[in-house]
Amino acid sequence: SYGTRQADSILVSTDVLFSFGLLAIINVATFLAFRLYNNLWEYASTDELVQLTLATILSIFVGAVIHYVAGVRLPIRVYFLAWVLFLFFAGGARFVFRFLHKGKGTASVRPAKSSLKRTLVVGAGETGSLTIKRMARGDYSMQGYPVAAVDDDPQKLGQRIHGVKVAGTTDDILELVKRLQIEQIVVAIPSADAEERRRIYDICLHTNCHLLTLPNVRDLRMDELDDVRLRDVELTDLLSREEIVLNTRLVSGYLSGKTVLITGGGGSIGSELARQICAVAPKQVIIFDIYENTAYELELELKEKYDDIDIRVEIGSIRDTERLEDLFAIYRPNVVFHAAAHKHVPLMEANPREAVLNNVFGTLFVARMADAYKASNFIYISTDKAVNPTSVMGATKRMGEMIVQYFAHSSRTCFAAVRFGNVLGSHGSVIPMFKRQIAEGGPVTVTHPEITRYFMTIPEASRLVVQAGGMAKGGEIFILDMGEQVKIVDLATNLIRLSGLVPGKDIQIKYVGLRKGEKLYEELLMDSETTLPTSMKNIMVSVGDKVSQVEVAAKLARLESILQDQPDEIKLCLREQIPTYQPDLNAVE
């Protein structure tokens, strides 16, 4: 009857109201449990989406269980539909909020378009898209007015990214810069290979535009994308070699869980060695240096990043045998990286006694301690200047290589040397000097128009040194693949262009002549040496004449006997010990 149908309708309505009310209470409780009411949704990412999905699934499931216990039977599709609608409205509302608030902080103070540099973006992939998007919304960490993009993918030509046209390929950069009055170029192709990057940078350097780049967005988490910043293109970018990745399997065997001593640990190479070594979990790292400031700064950096590794800094000289004895007695290091050395060529020409004391006898003293305290490995950091040396510094480093081979004959410690060229950005290198000269308006001084050098970045060199140590069997001189030699004048020219200036117009280049003991070009092998490949493509091992223990002992005794003589006598004695050394006498007048 009509009355019965009306009662059933009221009952159904009551059941429905009860169900909705119950679900609402469960939803609120679940969201509170997942702390979804505490999130800043303008920064929401996939993590929050997963959190929201799990919360809604749990909420619907708990509601279904309570319904079942209460005797309410609803089809499964009802719960599924309820979950879909719940996720849609709950998630949609929050992500609409994120969309509306995204970039709000920068939009209110967005610079006028006329004040921004007209920008060409090289690369129309994910990284280029991110760059254009953030520039368009006025992000202060990516300032610029994106005018056009270029990409070598034919399918992207003529397309638009966030309203910006892909106007050509990288071959069109010079023409587009001139036609569109480009002031700034962002190279957004971090996944390109080394040869391609080098080609593109070479094109861009001839535009006199400000050059910027940024990391590969594919290597970043979603919540890191908004923190990506543009940075200036550096000389290290122009080297454009394939990144050398530390082979942790190779090095962990002799470093993980061990005590590692790094002499000269506060220097450019020593400090980077410490960073690379800490990445493979040693038990303890001792940074030994005579200069306390950089060692202290490194200690703070490493302790902040690696709180599970015992980082120690010890101040002292490798020439002080008592200090070395105390150091080895206290820590008993398993592995020694010997990076401490006097390395500045002109200074050592004027101070040969100090070079011999530090680079020869300091190395001898550290090697003796490593042998006496039964370290498992001793790795000596050498230089290409030790090959057919023309300088005191190079000759003393060659003597250091001989000391390594001397101990390798009889010691249970595995002694090896690693030889490589210049590292970009190290203390006393030409790059800081060039930057200072450019900042002062020039001129930039280069010793000779044809002078060339091998170059590596500090991280590259340090990773290869650590890996070479893992391959050592005893007595090897490992040689790092330095690539092609680079003209110093080209480095100076590129650095001027990276500063947005024109070589020869805004900044002059002045040739001042070779310095005392300086070579026109460097060598990695002596005339009597050849190389054999190793399991690492960037590392070779020298094969050549090895000196006997008796011969090395005689050389050391002769050098020790003349330490109180005049500088030229010390140099002549060095020539006796290193026949390939041709000293430049009367360097001090």
Domains 111-233 and 248-425+455-484+521-577 share a fold: yes
Helices and strands counted in the chain (H then E): 21, 22
- In 3D space, the residue among 135, 302, 115, 303 whose CA is nearest the CA of residue 230 turns out to be 135
Length reported for the chain: 589
Tell me the CB-side half-sphere exposure of residue 333, using CA atoms within 13 A. 31
- At 367 the pLDDT is 96
SS3 content of the chain, % helix, strand, coil (to 5): 50, 15, 35
Helix (H/G/I), strand (E/B), else coil: 153: coil
DSSP letter string, 338-396:
E------HHHHHH-HHHHIIIIIIIHHHHHHHHHHTT-SEEEEE--GGGSS--SHHHHH
Question: Residue ranges of the domains in the chain?
Answer: 2-102, 111-233, 248-425+455-484+521-577
> Measured over all CA atoms, what is the biggest interatomic distance in the chain, rounded to whole angstroms?
127
**What is the C-alpha separation between 573 and 563, in angstroms, rounded?**
10
Which pLDDT score is estimated for 40?
45
Q: Yes or no: say if 300 and 313 are a contact pair by the CB < 8 Å rule.
A: no
Rounded-to-integer distance, Cα 390 and Cα 386, Å? 9
Q: Residue 537, Cβ neighbours under 10 Å: how many?
A: 10
Q: Which residue numbers are catalytic?
A: 385
Closest to 263 (Cα-Cα) out of 193, 173, 115, 362: 362
Per-residue pLDDT in tens (0 to 9) along the chain, 589 residues: 444 444 444 444 566 666 667 777 877 777 777 766 655 444 455 656 777 788 788 877 887 888 777 777 777 787 788 778 877 777 777 666 656 555 444 444 445 556 788 999 998 888 888 888 888 877 777 888 999 999 998 888 888 888 888 999 999 999 999 999 999 999 988 777 778 888 898 898 888 888 888 865 544 444 455 567 788 888 777 776 666 666 767 777 889 999 999 999 999 899 999 999 998 899 999 999 999 999 999 999 999 999 899 999 999 999 999 999 999 999 999 999 999 999 888 899 889 999 999 999 999 999 999 999 999 999 999 988 888 888 899 999 999 999 999 999 889 999 999 988 777 766 667 777 888 888 888 899 988 888 887 777 888 888 888 988 888 888 888 887 767 778 888 888 888 888 778 888 888 999 888 777 667 766 655 555 566 677 777 787 876 667 788 888 999 999 999 888 888 899 999 999 988 787 777 644 3
Name the helix (H) or strand (E) containing 414: strand 414-419
CATH architecture of 248-425+455-484+521-577: 3-Layer(aba) Sandwich (3.40)
Asked if 282 and 255 touch (Cβ cutoff 8 Å), the reply is yes
Q: What CATH superfamily classification does 111-233 receive?
A: NAD(P)-binding Rossmann-like Domain (3.40.50.720)
**Cα distance between residue 395 and residue 370, in whole Å:** 23
For residue 529, the model assigns a pLDDT of 58
Q: State both tokens at 532.
A: 């054999």
Question: Chain-centre distance of CA 461, in angstroms?
Answer: 11
Say which DSSP state 507 is in: B
